[in-house]
Chain A
Amino acid sequence: MLTGFIALYIFMLAAFTGYEIIGRVPSILHTPLMSGSNFVHGIVVVGALFALLNATTVTEQVIGFLGVLLGAGNAAGGYVVTERMLQMFKSSKA
């Protein structure tokens, strides 16, 4: 079980990781990066899927269905637009 302090350790280390990654990014990449981080939290679809698979009532099924739908939209949309943007960045030396 990821209770108490273990969870806090995970949160703390993850927060530092995010801070360190963004801190070094040149501002020309801020838009793709915002979009890329937006894609990463699309992992929420996995949690929504878990909630839906364990649903026992119609209410849970409806909410779970919506959750998976929204989460899948987040992940897929975030990926497509980020990849489209990043593919356009080219150096004049290339």
Chain B
Amino acid sequence: MNPSLIIDASFLVAAFLFIYGLKRMSSPVTAASGIRVAGLGMVIAVVASFLYVFNVNEAAKPHLLVNAVLGAVALAIGLGWAWTSGKKVEMTAMPQMVALYNGMGGGAAAAIGAVELFRPGAVHTTIPLVVTIIGSLIGAISLSGSVIAWAKLDGRINGTWRFTGLQAMNGTFFVATLALGLYIAFAAHGHAPAWMTAAFFVLALIFGVLMTMPIGGADMPVVISLYNAFTGLAVGFEGFVLQNPALMIAGMVVGSAGTLLTLLMAKAMNRSVSNVIFSNFGATGAEEQGEIKGSMKPIDAGDAGINMRYSSKIIIAPGYGLAVAQAQHKLYEFVKLCQEAGVEVKFAIHPVAGRMPGHMNVLLAEAGVPYDIIFDMEDINGEFKEADVAIVIGANDTVNPAARTNKSSPIYGMPILNVDMAKQVYVVKRGQGKGYSGVENELFFADNANMVYGDAQKVLVQMIQAVKSLDGGH
């Protein structure tokens, strides 16, 4: 049988399985099977692609054995490394790991473009050549940008680059990179000297670094999602260059899905994507803030626990701090104690709780919390006024009422969880510090709010002990 027929048929099957798998991933009930369906598609496509050995061009035939061995070795190393690192990574570190894997995909797309541009004697027509260069540019930016995003979220790079003229410098850099790309396409017709092609890739990589360095940690999820869309586009474009419909379809599906996801995330944070990329969020603000009336009132963890045990409805607003303290298991233990005592318990998740949308759901799922007591902000915000207790654990900016009222606040306009409307608010917090955005939280000073100071895990242990000793005493 004709190998290219088998390859084409396999890619068709793979494209179907990718789309069907992604579709199944859109509901929590079928999601786990969805990724396996998509995974099967990937295995079929990769295995079939080894049939390319029967179809290589004449010039490459003498090198075929070496190339095939190189391919198998590269596959084994990439697969082995990613498989083990993926199994090991903590759920809290998931966003940066996704960023890293995504950057690798961008790099692979750029590499495809580079091989095309470095191929001696290749005949380039204008449209595929322009698409190759754009795909390479986007892929390279995604690679270096994702690596910076990973390093920042992983705490390997601290601080952000901000100085006057930064945007002008980045703009100049981008224009220079683009101009070089256009020169290679239209003046050199793809046969630019090797140093020039290499310079194009180096410039694109540097631009990815420059573009990501000024972006603060709080905005990083939006950036990761944007780079995810970038990689998708780059893969789609290089798929066109290689005349490979599987790459075109998979790349473009991810390109558009990733773009929409980026917009949804930015909307949840009340920021536009251009605002995330081009503004200096958090650089100002703190000193402009007015005096906050009231004081922070501490309460003992055990007392707070007992009060919750005797209330009829509590809503929990968890944040990234909960996961950092690795307290989600203890939290669920406490929740189960309350549920056994007849308390109605719900979780309220802000769209940007954790380090990216949905991250908190993953962290709670890790602790075994069933997803049907976890609610999105818009579904639960109306219920806070009926709740006896709202407890905030490791969250800050997402519950700051200043976002509703204080026009001078940098987070003004961001939708927040209405925890302040509950009869009683407990805030579990390590100390008196500010949130990720550097804004003081007036919720902590409100009349109906009490602070439970301490490490979230220790606080929850105290709450559990207090409730247990109470029930055991009967």
Task: Give the docked Cα–Cα distance between A14 and B256 (Å).
Answer: 8
Q: List B residues at the A interface (Cβ < 8 Å).
A: 11, 14, 18-19, 21-23, 25-29, 31-32, 34-36, 38-39, 42, 45-46, 49-50, 52-53, 56-57, 59-60, 63-64, 66-68, 70-71, 73-75, 77-79, 81-83, 85-87, 89, 91, 94-95, 97-98, 100-102, 104-105, 107-109, 111-112, 114-116, 118-120, 127, 143, 194, 224-225, 228, 231-232, 235-236, 238-240, 242-258, 260-261, 264-265, 268, 349, 351, 354, 356-359, 361-362, 365-366, 368, 370-374, 376
**Chain A residues with CB under 8 A of B34:** 36, 86
**Chain A residues with CB under 8 A of B108:** 44-45, 47-48, 67-68, 70-71, 74
Q: Are B248 and A67 in contact (CB under 8 A)?
A: no
**Chain B residues with CB under 8 A of A81:** 86, 89, 94, 97-98, 101
Q: Are B35 and A36 in contact (CB under 8 A)?
A: yes
Candidates B67, B75, B86, B243; contact of A61 at CB < 8 Å: B67
Contacts A44-B251, A74-B102 hold; do A7 and B240 have CB atoms under 8 A apart? yes
Q: Are A28 and B79 in contact (CB under 8 A)?
A: no
Contacts A53-B71, A76-B82 hold; do A17 and B253 have CB atoms under 8 A apart? yes
Contacts A29-B358, A42-B42, A63-B111 hold; do A21 and B22 have CB atoms under 8 A apart? yes
Task: Give the docked Cα–Cα distance between A42 and B38 (Å).
Answer: 11
Q: Are A32 and B362 in contact (CB under 8 A)?
A: yes
Task: Give the docked Cα–Cα distance between A78 and B253 (Å).
Answer: 16
Question: For window 44-86 of chain A, which residues contact chain B by CB distance below 8 Å?
Answer: 44-57, 59-61, 63-86
Closest to B14 in A: A43
Q: Are B39 and A30 in contact (CB under 8 A)?
A: no
**Chain B residues with CB under 8 A of A77:** 82-83, 85-86, 97, 100-101, 104
**Chain A residues with CB under 8 A of B235:** 41, 43-44, 47
Candidates B25, B42, B368; contact of A90 at CB < 8 Å: B368
Closest to B102 in A: A38
Task: Give the docked Cα–Cα distance between A24 and B26 (Å).
Answer: 7
Question: Taking the nearest CB of chain B, how far is it from the CB of A67, in angstroms?
Answer: 3
Q: Are B361 and A31 in contact (CB under 8 A)?
A: yes
**Chain B residues with CB under 8 A of A1:** 243
Closest to B87 in A: A80
Candidates B22, B57, B105, B373; contact of A36 at CB < 8 Å: B22
Contacts beyond the supplied A22-B260, A61-B70: 15 A-B pairs with Cβ under 8 Å: A37-B22, A38-B98, A41-B105, A43-B14, A43-B251, A44-B247, A54-B57, A54-B60, A64-B67, A68-B71, A69-B75, A72-B77, A81-B98, A83-B32, A91-B29
Closest to B241 in A: A47
Question: Taking the nearest CB of chain A, how far is it from the CB of B195, in angstroms?
Answer: 12
Task: Specify which of A2, A46, A49, A52 lies most central, judged by the most chain B CB atoms within 10 Å of its CB.
Answer: A46
Question: Taking the nearest CB of chain B, how far is it from the CB of A42, in angstroms?
Answer: 6
**Chain B residues with CB under 8 A of A94:** 370
Q: Are A29 and B28 in contact (CB under 8 A)?
A: yes
Q: Are B257 and A67 in contact (CB under 8 A)?
A: no
Closest to A81 in B: B86
Q: Are B246 and A52 in contact (CB under 8 A)?
A: no
Contacts A56-B119, A61-B63 hold; do A42 and B28 have CB atoms under 8 A apart? no
Q: Are A18 and B256 in contact (CB under 8 A)?
A: yes
- A-B contacts, 5 of them at CB < 8 A, read A19-B260, A38-B228, A44-B109, A67-B74, A91-B28
Task: Give the docked Cα–Cα distance between A58 and B116 (Å).
Answer: 14
Task: Give the docked Cα–Cα distance between A54 and B251 (Å).
Answer: 22
Q: Are B18 and A40 in contact (CB under 8 A)?
A: yes
Task: Give the docked Cα–Cα distance between A85 and B67 (Å).
Answer: 36
Contacts A37-B22, A41-B250 hold; do A46 and B78 have CB atoms under 8 A apart? no
Task: Specify which of B26, B64, B236, B246 lies most central, judged by the most chain A CB atoms within 10 Å of its CB.
Answer: B26
Closest to B376 in A: A27
Closest to A90 in B: B370
Q: Are B252 and A10 in contact (CB under 8 A)?
A: yes
Question: Taking the nearest CB of chain B, how far is it from the CB of A80, in angstroms?
Answer: 3
Closest 6 CB pairs of A and B: A72-B78, A67-B111, A80-B86, A92-B370, A77-B82, A30-B358
